[in-house]
Amino acid sequence: MSQRPAKIVMATGNPGKIREIARLLGGLGIEVVAQSEFGVTDADETGTTFAENSLIKAQHASDATGLPAIGDDSGLSVDALDGAPGVYSSRYAGPECDDESNNDKLLAELDGIADRGAAFHCVATFVEPGGGAPLVAHGEWRGSILHARQGNGGFGYDPLFFVPDCYCSSAELEADEKNARSHRGQALRKLVDLLQQKYA
C-alpha cells in the first residue's frame, strides 16, 4: 500500500472538473487543487490518442508542481467519420474555432449520412512524482448525432449528441444526470476506485 498524498493537482483550470473530482475523492481526505493555482500552463497536446494526451497533461502538471497529478482528455468519435473528430474535437473546425463552428462542421460532414452512431470518450490518468506505473481509467458514452441542435445546456457537441435512453440531447440533461452518465463521470469514478484501492 502506498502513502496517501495530502494533495493532488488536477491538470485543468476548469472549476467544474475540480469540484467533481474533489467530491469523488472526499472520502479519502485528499485535497484537489487546479494546476492554475501553481501558475502551471496547459501542456501541449501532442498525442494521437486520448490516453496519450491524458498522460501528457498529468505528467506535465506533476513535473511542474512536484505533486501527484490527474490529467484527462476527452472527445467525440463518430462511427461514419472513422472516429473523427477524436482527439481534435475541440479544434475540429480549425485552431481558432469555437463550439458553434465545430458543430456546424460536424453537421456538414454528416449531411446525407444515415449512420449517425457516435460516442464520447474520456481517459483519466493519475501519475506520481518520480515515476511508477500510472493509473488509467476510460469512460465511453454512446449515442448518435442529431440533424440539428437541441437544448441550451452543456457545451461542445452536447446539443448534437442524442442520448437514446433519455430521448433527448446531452444539452437537455440536468447537470447531475449528465455527470452520472457521461464519459468523464465514468472515467473519473473508475479512477477514484483505483485510487481508493491504492491508498485504502
* Rounded to 5°, angle at Cα 26 from 20 and 18: 30
CA proximity to 67, closest of 128, 133, 3, 11? 128
pTM over 0.95: no
List, in sequence order, the alpha helices (H) in the chain. Answer: 15-24, 50-65, 99-109, 175-181, 183-199
Which of 44, 72, 73, 165 is catalytic? The answer is: 73
- pLDDT value for 24: 79
Q: Give the per-residue pLDDT at 123.
A: 98
Enter the C-alpha cell of residue 117: 452512431
Q: Is 73 a catalytic residue?
A: yes
Please name the amino acid found at residue 88.
Y
Please give the pLDDT value at position 1.
52
List, in order of start, the domains of the chain with CATH numbers.
Answer: 7-199 (3.90.950.10)
Q: What is the pLDDT along the chain (200 residues), one digit of tens a residue?
A: 567 888 999 998 777 778 878 887 777 888 999 999 999 999 999 999 999 999 999 999 999 999 999 999 999 999 999 999 999 999 999 988 999 999 999 999 999 999 999 999 999 999 999 878 999 999 999 999 999 999 998 889 999 999 999 999 999 999 889 888 999 989 999 999 999 888 87
DSSP class of residue 82? T
